[in-house]
Structure 1
Amino acid sequence: MYDFMIGKYFNYFYLFWIFVYAGSATVFARSLGDISTFGNAFAICLTIFAISLNKIKFNTKFIYSLVIFCIYALATTLNNQTINLLWWSQWLIRLAIAYVIIRIFKEGLLYAFEKMLVFFCYCSLSFWILYLVAPNMLLNFASFVHFSEPYGADNSNVAYNLLVYTIGSNSVLNQGYWVVRNAGFAWEPGAFSSIIIIGIFCNILRKGFILSNNKHLILFLITLFTTQSTTGIGILLACSVFWAFVNGRKGWAIIWLIAAIFLFMVLPFMQEKILGEYVIMNEQVRNVENVYSHAAYGRMSSFVLSWQEFLRHPILGLGGYAGGTYLMQRGIDNVALISGIGHLLSMYGAVMSFLFFKLLYKSGKSFSHVFETKNGYMIIVVMLGIMISYNLWMNPLLMSFWLFNYYSGPLIPQGQMKGKRCIIH
């Protein structure tokens, strides 16, 4: 019993740090996969201990996934006539960590994710309120005890990171339409909202789309709205419509569609941001070669440029050869493209994109099987919604969702789970 409790607490400790890496707010968190860094060494040490403690064995499916990746990586390396060892190490380490997360929690992954997110939401709301009430006090405190250094130095969205909460730079803090936006533990509020949406998905699978006696869902929704995120609110509305249609509630589907239109018209961070991006998209794409200072393009412009890149090498993509893009070849290295879907298509081509979507669909099927519902396929809406704006799909925390079916092995439906496995309870 003692060993079981030690294992349980360590598994959550391990998951806590995987969340921190997913937040990507610091140099430490963004070093995952770079074998020359302390941040990566720490993750590997935790993973090795987790493997030993949980007696995890690497099955043939994991080996196959490494073989498939290595074949693809070798093909793109030969095609591009250049090798990117950092890219290789990043993917091999990410796959290993995702495998370990899935094998530790199995059917309990969604509950564990939800429980950990509850902790981060409480922390974020506490620090966010403190910032609203006494900003100077929190800033002075953070200047002395902040965790690691913000990623990106002077161009970072982060002023200070307190491990469980991020204080944004002035440019981010001033983006809020009503009050300062809540970035949680992530590098910016939109990324935090994306992780909250996954927590909402986990909760819906377990309890259904209800608010009564569902404190976790209420907490997630409150925290989501403090981010004032177009991505997060948009995905929430899309999930609501999906849930209504899948569960045969067409009346609710119509209501949610009307609500989506209403919120788009009313909320400034929805309407102004989306319409603003649409207005400047053509100009940004047309004048991309005239950008002389670092620029992070919006999701629409990013997707268009990434789609154009995909059409230049549609089968295999460029793999780890980021320097092979049209913009980089023209000496334009000061444009950051944020579209996750665009990145998947342009860098990994049709072959790997097809494999990704197949794995995502299969995981949706597994979630539906485990929780004996049709709502498991909602993960497709969630993941694609996140990928419109972010590359979080390549982070081990999110990889554990689209690789869930492939790595999990035999699964026990929720109705039969009592007394079978007690990893998370």
Structure 2
Amino acid sequence: MTDLTLVSFFFFACQLIVGESFFNFIKMFHLTPGEPYSEIFSNCLIFTYTKELHDYRNSGFVWEPGGFGCFLIITLMLNLFINKFKFDRSSIILIIGVITTVSTTAYLALLIILFMVYRFRNRKINFGIILMIPLLVLIMIKTPFIGEKIVALYSSDMDKLENIDHLSRYYDKIEMQMRLNRFASITYIYNLFGHKLILGVSNMYDELMNKVYSVNISNGIMDFMAKYGVVGFLYLMSCYARFCKRNVKYIECVVYCLLVIVVLGFGSPILTTPIVLMFLFLPYYKLPNPIYVLVKRPVLLNSEYSSAN
């Protein structure tokens, strides 16, 4: 991920400097989707450029900047686990990568991670932490691309749902799926599935989702619940929490880890991707305990072999 982020910096610079010419260059690889998406979307496996929508945002190798930000945040968190919450070269690169996505979701998750690092290093409740919490809330509210964007997004979503019949006919005419943002996705899925959200509908998801309207869901939590239910979501979160507990030790930090994944899942449909589903298995993974470790000479570790040494 660090290497791919460095690669994205180069292509992102080309995107900012060259613009549409760079878009046409990527299209030469013939990896764009069919019409009409090929007019705005281009991809060359290691970089994605969506013209007009994301002219000044870094999508990296993912489908959009928000998705790329989610991948970066999870990688940053794992890197901090490995380094005992110390920032290294990879951490700095990943943080810069998050900044280039200009993603509200990724920014919120980054603020939570930075606060978690502070709390991991400073366990005492002091004046600094009391001041920091309202300060973070104020930053979220006052920052245009966080607070204002969330309010505008909610209003836009509610308007879209009220006019969904008219919009659906328009999108059918241009042969595109109707994109539902975060709040609209919640309402639409809840109205569509109702009590089925408890256990999910599994393989029937695609058929039921597009039965009335052809929509594109952007809320990963509701998307996951529709497929695997609230039960499946809670099980995934419990596995994830157990894995985090092994690395952060403190229950408070586990709560922050849960907040990170909830924020990411709310803003992007990433919960069904391998980078998140791996947490179903990681709590049960144990490093092998080798009999021999090579230092300058073989050293026996297991107590049952100590007499042989």
In the superposition, the TM-score normalised over structure 2's length comes to 0.78
Q: 1:164 aligned to 2:46?
A: yes
Select 2:93's aligned residue among 190, 196, 219: 219
Select 1:238's aligned residue among 104, 112, 115: 112
1:338 and 1:254, CA in 2 relative to 1: closer, same or farther beyond 3 A? same
Deviation at 1:133, TM superposition (A): 2.5
Deviation at 1:340, TM superposition (A): 1.0
Greater relative contact order, per chain length (Cα 8 Å cut-off, separation 6+): 1
Letter in 2 for 1:228: V
Select 1:321's aligned residue among 204, 215, 227: 204
CA distance in 2, matches of 1:374, 1:386: 19
CA distance in 2, matches of 1:310, 1:245: 40
**Counterpart of 1:128?**
12
CA distance in 2, matches of 1:363, 1:200: 15
Identity %, equivalent residues: 20
Matched-pair contact (CA < 8 Å) for 2:20–2:51: no
Unpaired segments ≥5 residues, structure 1: 1-116, 174-179, 421-425
**Over residues 353-389 of structure 1, what are the superposed CA-to-partner deviations in whole Å (9 max), with x where a residue is unaligned?**
33222222222233347xx997566542332221102
Query: SS of the residue aligned with 2:200?
Result: coil
Matched-pair contact (CA < 8 Å) for 2:142–2:148: no
**Over residues 10-63 of structure 1, what are the superposed CA-to-partner deviations in whole Å (9 max), with x where a residue is unaligned?**
xxxxxxxxxxxxxxxxxxxxxxxxxxxxxxxxxxxxxxxxxxxxxxxxxxxxxx
CA distance in 1, matches of 2:294, 2:40: 44
CA distance in 2, matches of 1:265, 1:354: 29
Greater radius of gyration (CA) = 2
1:311 and 1:418, CA in 2 relative to 1: closer, same or farther beyond 3 A? farther
CA distance in 1, matches of 2:215, 2:186: 13
CA distance in 2, matches of 1:154, 1:321: 27
CA distance in 1, matches of 2:253, 2:197: 32
RMSD: 3.2
Q: 1:312 aligned to 2:195?
A: yes
Select 2:234's aligned residue among 354, 358, 366: 354
Q: 1:340 aligned to 2:215?
A: no
Higher helix share: 1
CA distance in 1, matches of 2:77, 2:39: 27
**Over residues 396-421 of structure 1, what are the superposed CA-to-partner deviations in whole Å (9 max), with x where a residue is unaligned?**
23322343113x24577xxxx9979x
Q: 1:138 aligned to 2:14?
A: no
**Counterpart of 1:302?**
185
CA distance in 2, matches of 1:290, 1:394: 31
Deviation at 1:210, TM superposition (A): 4.8
CA distance in 2, matches of 1:242, 1:356: 21
Q: Show the 5 A alignment for 1:1-400.
A: 117-135=1-19, 138-144=22-28, 146=29, 149-151=31-33, 153-155=35-37, 159-173=41-55, 180-211=56-87, 214-245=88-119, 247-250=122-125, 251-292=127-168, 293=171, 294-323=177-206, 325=208, 328-329=210-211, 331-332=212-213, 334-368=214-248, 375=253, 378-400=256-278
Query: SS of the residue aligned with 2:271?
Result: helix
CA distance in 2, matches of 1:382, 1:158: 31
CA distance in 1, matches of 2:179, 2:203: 20
**Over residues 176-221 of structure 1, what are the superposed CA-to-partner deviations in whole Å (9 max), with x where a residue is unaligned?**
xxxx11111111101111111012202222334455xx22222222
Deviation at 1:243, TM superposition (A): 4.0
**Range moving further from structure 2, 197-206 or 259-268:** 259-268
Matched-pair contact (CA < 8 Å) for 1:183–1:227: yes
Deviation at 1:309, TM superposition (A): 3.9
CA distance in 2, matches of 1:418, 1:398: 35
Count of residues in Structure 1 that have an aligned counterpart in Structure 2: 284
Matched-pair contact (CA < 8 Å) for 2:197–2:226: yes
Letter in 1 for 2:151: L
CA distance in 2, matches of 1:252, 1:203: 26
Query: SS of the residue aligned with 2:91?
Result: helix
Q: 1:401 aligned to 2:276?
A: no
